Amino acid sequence: MSEVAVAGATIDLVVFRVAGHLFGVEACQVRGSRPADGNVSGMLDAECLLLGLPPAPPVTTRWLLRIKGDPEDWELCVDAPLELCRLEAAAVHRLPDLVGARTGLRQLRALALSGKEVMSLVDLRGGPVMPPGGSVTPPPHPA
């Protein structure tokens, strides 16, 4: 492995899915969560924020993540399952050079190997900043 990780270091993440794709955010950025009991109007949809897609009818149970904000907290609507997990630092990778240079998703900070999937690690401290329209690839339907 070419990246040097601090021996024994771990990171606590809140892991969720958006349109089938795996995302993680540092647990310290999340104040709490609650089930999105049907009415999610006024909440920011993660499909818009993280995938640049228009909101779609939910196909799974949805959750509202309450993200710590400055000055105000905000809520992000994500797909279940919502999990808290501890990841070893060795599993976290900086963005590949070309992805780092060309990503249109400013929240994307790193990638992590999680089983047979790649998890996108996002930093939501900057607030709900939408990606520029039309500049990103629509996600494929996950297998």
Place of tokens 């109007």: 41
User: How buried is 135 (Cβ within 10 angstroms: 0-12 exposed, 13-18 middle, 19+ buried)?
Assistant: exposed
Instruction: Pick the binder of another protein from 7, 42, 101, 133 (CB under 8 A).
Output: 101
Whichever of 35 and 126 has its CB closer to another protein, that residue is 126
Strand ranges in the chain using DSSP code E only, listed in sequence order? 10-18, 21-26, 30-35, 44-45, 62-67, 74-88, 92-94, 108-114, 117-122
Instruction: Pick the binder of another protein from 13, 105, 121, 124 (CB under 8 A).
Output: 105
Instruction: Pick the binder of another protein from 84, 113, 129, 130 (CB under 8 A).
Output: 113
Residue 54 within binding range of another protein, rule CB under 8 A: no
Contact residues: another protein, CB under 8 A: 1-3, 18, 21, 50-52, 93, 96-99, 101-105, 108, 111, 113, 116-118, 120, 131, 135-137, 139-140, 142
